Amino acid sequence: MIVNTICFIHIPKSGGTSIEKMILEQESNFFNYSYMKLCDYILEILKLYASFICSFLFIKPNDNYKNSLLIIIRIINDYMLKCYHSTYLLENAYIKSKISYHKRCSSNCKYKNIKFFSCVRHPQSRLVSLYTFLKPKINFNKFVIGILDNSKLDYPPKIAYQDQTSFLVNKKNEICVKWYKIEEITHKWQDICKYIDIPYKKFNNKKKNISQKDSENWKSYYDKYPYIVNIVKKYYKNDFINFNYSLYIPN
Query: What phi and psi, each to the nearest 5 degrees, are found at residue 3?
Result: -110, 120
**180-215: buried (b, 16+ CB within 10 Å) or exposed (e) per residue?**
bbbbebeebbeebbeebebeeeebeeeebbbeeeee
C-alpha distance from residue 68 to each of 58, 71, 78, 79 (Å)? 16, 5, 15, 17
Contact (Cβ atoms closer than 8 angstroms) between residue 5 and residue 115: yes
Distance separating alpha carbons of residues 221 and 202, to the nearest angstrom: 32
**pLDDT tens readout for residues 27-48:** 655 555 566 667 667 767 766 7
Number of domains in the chain: 1
Q: Which residues contact 171 (CB under 8 A, 6 or more apart)?
A: 89
Residue at 249 is within a domain? no
Residue 127 belongs to a domain: yes
Q: Is it the case that residue 137 has pLDDT exceeding 60? A: yes
In a domain, 251, yes or no: no
* DSSP-derived 3-state class of residue 115: strand
Q: Could you tell me the residue range of the domain that residue 189 belongs to?
A: 2-242
Residue 250: inside a domain: no
Please write the tens of the pLDDT for every residue from 211-224: 445 556 899 999 99
Q: What is the pTM of this model?
A: 0.80
pLDDT digits (tens, 9 = 90+) for 85-114: 888 887 777 666 655 545 555 555 555 567
Would residue 33 count as lying in a domain?
Answer: yes
Whether 178 is covered by a domain: the verdict is yes
Length of the chain: 251
248 occurs within a structural domain: no
Contact 209, 17 (CB under 8 A): yes
Would you say residue 85 lies in a domain? yes
